[in-house]
């Protein structure tokens, strides 16, 4: 049985639904996601959440890998500066993401697909808004062109 020798196609009539990978820290942003859920706040289902202990444990390779595999956007969400459960993780994450975005920019790759933000455990609504916001932005950017390169 021959498989289609093309990457995932989207039918011309349906709207593009971006897939966003979210790296959330357990202590703040993941709790905010839970709060949004229990408060019945609706947000787009475009986010695929990966829960880590700290935003500082997000290595750039995870973000790059997600994009290489075709994610349309990657979100890193941690505690507000000063509130990190491990004290400095979010500060380091902030520098790492700034570095990654600069490198992507140097190479002419769309660094707007990578986003870092701070969402406190009590900010369920902010979490929902962040996802809505990012989904809209990724829709405007369109599908990740990496998907078209099978040899990537």
Partner 1 sequence: MTASGDGPTENIVKFLGALLDKNCVDALLVPMKQPGGEGVVQSLVSHKNMLKNARPMAFDMPVNSGTIISDMTKVAPSSRMLAVVVKSCEIRALIELVKLKQASLDNIVIIGVDCPGTYSVNQFIQMVKDGQSHMSEYLNNVAGEKDDEDMREACLVCERPIPENTDITIGIYGTDLKTPIFFANTETGKEVLAKAGIKPAEESQERKQAISVLEKRRLEAWNTLSDATKSQVAGIGNLLAFFDSCINCHNCMDVCPVCYCRECFFDSPTFEYESDKYLSWAKRKGAIKMPRDTILFHLTRLNHMSTSCVGCGMCEQACPSNIALLRFYKTVGYKAQKVFDYVAGRSIEEALPLLTFREDELDPK
Q: Which chain residues interact with partner 1 by CB under 8 A?
A: 3-8, 60-61, 64-65, 68, 81-82, 88, 91-92, 94-100, 102-103, 106-109, 115-118, 145-146, 149-152
In the complex, minimum distance from the CB of residue 99 to partner 1, in angstroms, rounded to a whole number: 6
108 φ, ψ (degrees, to nearest 5): 65, 25
Considering the complex, state which of residue 36 and residue 100 has its C-beta at the smaller distance from partner 1: 100
CA dist., res. 66 & res. 71, Å (int): 5
* 3 state SS of 28: coil
Considering the complex, state which of residue 13 and residue 106 has its C-beta at the smaller distance from partner 1: 106
Nearest to 32 by CA among 20, 17, 47: 47
In the complex, minimum distance from the CB of residue 94 to partner 1, in angstroms, rounded to a whole number: 5
DSSP states of 74-124: EEEEEPPTT--TTSSHHHHHHHHHHHHHHHHHHTT--GGGEEEEE--TT-H
Token pair belonging to 107: 């190479």
Considering the complex, state which of residue 38 and residue 134 has its C-beta at the smaller distance from partner 1: 134
In the complex, minimum distance from the CB of residue 34 to partner 1, in angstroms, rounded to a whole number: 22
Considering the complex, state which of residue 37 and residue 69 has its C-beta at the smaller distance from partner 1: 69
CA dist., res. 124 & res. 101, Å (int): 27
In the complex, minimum distance from the CB of residue 40 to partner 1, in angstroms, rounded to a whole number: 27
In the complex, minimum distance from the CB of residue 38 to partner 1, in angstroms, rounded to a whole number: 26
Is 115:134 a contact under the CB 8 Å cutoff?
yes
Considering the complex, state which of residue 41 and residue 99 has its C-beta at the smaller distance from partner 1: 99
């Amino acid at each position: 049985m021959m498989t289609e020798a093309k990457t995932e196609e989207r039918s011309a009539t349906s709207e593009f639904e971006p897939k966003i990978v979210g790296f959330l820290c357990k202590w703040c942003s993941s709790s905010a996601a839970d709060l949004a859920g229990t408060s019945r706040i609706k947000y787009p289902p475009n986010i695929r959440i990966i829960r880590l202990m700290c935003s500082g444990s997000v290595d750039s390779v995870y973000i790059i890998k997600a994009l290489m595999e075709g994610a349309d956007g990657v979100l890193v969400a941690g505690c507000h500066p000063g509130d990190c459960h491990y004290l400095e993780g979010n500060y380091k994450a902030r520098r790492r993401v700034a570095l990654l975005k600069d490198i992507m920019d140097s190479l002419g790759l769309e660094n707007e697909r990578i986003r870092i933000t701070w969402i406190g455990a009590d900010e369920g609504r902010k979490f929902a808004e962040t996802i809505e916001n990012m989904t809209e932005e990724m829709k405007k950017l369109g599908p990740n062109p990496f998907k078209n390169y099978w040899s990537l």
